[in-house]
């Protein structure tokens, strides 16, 4: 079902559209946790380490495809809001071909340099073979990741967030069932976990493709759209590559912080690993709401519904702030009990360090909530460069300040935790001030908000 986000009550429309996206990500996170537990329970610590280490690389490369698809999705929502069918269909064809080519190139390079990649990741020799086996099978299905993300972004751009949720939910359940069968029953080890992931992703990608082709024929390019329109290709490239850059920079910055955390030893590493899982789950709905807000702005920007955009900005800030406030209180109060979900209560030092992280980050969730809205806003009005700039400010501050503060003996590891919300807030200030100074240029008729 497609929703026209240019009509109806503003706050209710955004919430109704965002809820399936939030539930979809919850399914994905629950699968990730379940997959980790299955590997740890039935194979052992070496396999868990191999899969966990490989996951960092997989997320980084997936973020490239996700960024490309999200950038294209922003243009789709603008054309859909304009009711510009020809531009929409042309952009669908060109973006699909562009991202398909990029996916193929990345995939080929991975298989050529997989040994060098594993060495670069400094994976210990004792789990080298396990990591190689897992990564090789996962990247056989790399194109499925592209197809799923592409059609998810396309459907969401035209107001359909329910269908991707249904397919993702089915895929997550199937993935868990297959992982248990292949790992616990068949005894295929890490290969079984990887095969389960590839099969479930492949079926999900196939299902979404068939749904879009059969149920949304109005989105399918016609013969006259199957041509290389270089002006359109330039717009798609600018939007997609810049959004991809933002996603990649974000993950690269996280990897640099991870390296600093590792220097503090296994206790801090374990605390950080668990706390980040909780942290990600806590602010994930704010991130999904930011993506839904982006589609809302994109459609209304294309339709020139400037008063509705003003209403949407006000409503989105209130909704995001209220949600972040509730989650902040919950995380701050229940930091220790949340840690004990993953860590035995006897590990008091790990719980203490992780709880400190959660209390510092949790006190400032409003900062990342606003930042996700800014990312979505600038992407939606076809100004993705600002999203990159905000990411660089946020992560540049986080990385630089983390290394500086962590070197001060009286501050230590807490300096890493404090650097994260400081980065969020500085990026928020820059993004909001820029909007206030340039709002007339950015949105033409949009007056003071």
Q: From CA 84, how far away is CA 95, in angstroms rounded? A: 16
Please say if the pLDDT value at position 445 is more than 70.
no
Domain range spanning residue 362? 245-449
Q: What pLDDT score does 54 carry?
A: 73
Phi, psi (deg, nearest 5) at residue 413: -65, -25
Same domain, 330 and 371: yes
Domain-located, residue 10: no
pLDDT by residue (tens digit) across 114-148?
A: 888 877 766 777 778 888 898 999 999 999 999 99
The rounded percent of the chain whose pLDDT value lies above 70 is 92
Task: Tell me the mean pLDDT in the region 8-33.
Answer: 82
Chain-centroid distance of CA 301 in Å reads: 23
Q: CA-CA distances (angstroms) from residue 436 to 68, 197, 347, 428?
A: 28, 45, 48, 12
Q: What pLDDT score does 295 carry?
A: 87
Q: Bigger pLDDT: 54 or 206? A: 206
Please say if the pLDDT value at position 262 is more than 90.
no
pLDDT by residue (tens digit) across 185-230?
A: 888 988 998 999 999 999 999 999 999 999 988 899 988 888 888 8
* Tokens found for residue 311: 């209403």
Same domain, 29 and 107: yes
Length of the chain counted residue by residue = 449
Q: What pLDDT score does 423 carry?
A: 92
Domain-located, residue 6: no
How would residue 448 be classed by pLDDT, with cut points 50, 70 and 90? very low
Helix/strand/coil percent split, the chain, to 5: 85, 0, 15
Q: What pLDDT score does 379 carry?
A: 85
Domain-located, residue 165: yes
Same domain, 254 and 162: no
Domain-located, residue 44: yes
* Tokens found for residue 101: 């080519």
Same domain, 265 and 190: no
Same domain, 79 and 40: yes
Query: Average model confidence (pLDDT) for the chain?
Result: 85
Q: What pLDDT score does 53 carry?
A: 65
Which residue, of 184, 201, 227, is where some domain finishes? 227
Domain-located, residue 5: no
Q: Is 407 exposed, middle or buried (CB count within 10 Å of its CB: 0-12, 13-18, 19+)? A: exposed
How would residue 94 be classed by pLDDT, with cut points 50, 70 and 90? very high
Q: What is the reported pTM?
A: 0.78
pLDDT by residue (tens digit) across 271-323?
A: 777 787 788 888 888 988 998 898 899 889 888 888 898 899 999 999 999 99
Q: CA-CA distances (angstroms) from residue 132 to 14, 113, 312?
A: 43, 11, 47
Task: Tell me the mean pLDDT in the region 392-419.
Answer: 89
**Most confident option among 18-32, 167-181, 232-246:** 167-181
For residues 155 and 161, the answer to whether their CB atoms sit within 8 Å is: yes
Q: From CA 196, how far away is CA 175, in angstroms rounded? A: 5
Report the domain count for the chain. Answer: 2
Domain-located, residue 379: yes
């Amino acid at each position: 079902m497609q929703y026209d986000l240019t009509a109806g009550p503003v706050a209710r429309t955004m919430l109704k559209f965002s809820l399936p996206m939030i539930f979809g990500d919850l399914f994905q996170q629950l699968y990730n946790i379940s997959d980790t537990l299955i590997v740890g329970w039935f194979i052992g610590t070496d396999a868990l380490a191999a899969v966990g280490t490989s996951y960092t690389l997989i997320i980084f490369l997936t973020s490239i495809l996700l960024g490309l698809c999200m950038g294209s999705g922003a243009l789709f929502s603008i054309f859909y809001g304009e009711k510009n069918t020809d531009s929409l269909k042309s952009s669908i064809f060109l973006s699909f071909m562009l991202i398909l080519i990029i996916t193929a190139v990345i995939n080929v390079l991975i298989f050529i340099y997989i040994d060098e990649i594993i060495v670069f990741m400094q994976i210990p020799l004792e789990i080298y073979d396990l990591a190689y086996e897992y990564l090789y099978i996962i990247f056989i299905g790399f194109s499925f990741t592209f197809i799923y993300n592409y059609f998810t972004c396309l459907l969401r751009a035209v107001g359909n967030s329910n269908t991707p949720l249904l397919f993702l939910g089915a895929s997550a359940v199937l993935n868990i069932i297959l992982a248990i069968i292949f790992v616990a029953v068949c005894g295929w080890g890490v290969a079984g976990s990887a095969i389960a992931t590839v099969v479930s992703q492949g079926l999900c990608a196939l299902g979404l493709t068939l749904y879009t082709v059969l149920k949304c024929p109005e989105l399918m390019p016609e013969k006259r759209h199957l041509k290389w329109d270089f002006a359109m290709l330039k717009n798609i490239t600018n939007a997609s590559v810049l959004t991809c850059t933002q996603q990649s920079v974000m993950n690269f910055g996280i990897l640099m912080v991870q390296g600093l955390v590792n220097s503090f030893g296994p206790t801090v590493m374990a605390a950080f690993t668990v706390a980040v899982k909780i942290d990600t789950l806590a602010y994930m709905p704010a991130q999904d709401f930011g993506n839904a807000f982006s589609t809302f702005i994109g459609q209304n920007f294309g339709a020139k519904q400037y008063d509705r955009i003003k209403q949407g900005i006000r409503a989105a800030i209130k909704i995001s702030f209220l949600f972040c406030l509730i989650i902040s209180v919950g995380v701050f109060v229940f930091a220790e009990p949340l840690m004990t979900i993953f860590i035995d209560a006897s590990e008091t030092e790990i719980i203490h360090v992780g709880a400190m992280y959660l209390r510092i980050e949790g006190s400032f969730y409003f900062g990342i909530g606003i930042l996700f809205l800014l990312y979505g806003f600038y992407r939606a009005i076809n100004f993705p460069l600002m999203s990159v700039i905000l990411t660089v400010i946020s992560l540049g501050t986080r990385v630089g300040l983390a290394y500086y503060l962590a070197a001060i003996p009286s501050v230590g590891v807490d300096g890493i935790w404090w650097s994260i919300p400081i980065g969020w807030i500085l990026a928020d200030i820059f993004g909001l001030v820029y909007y206030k100074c340039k709002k007339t240029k950015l949105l033409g008729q949009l007056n003071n908000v």
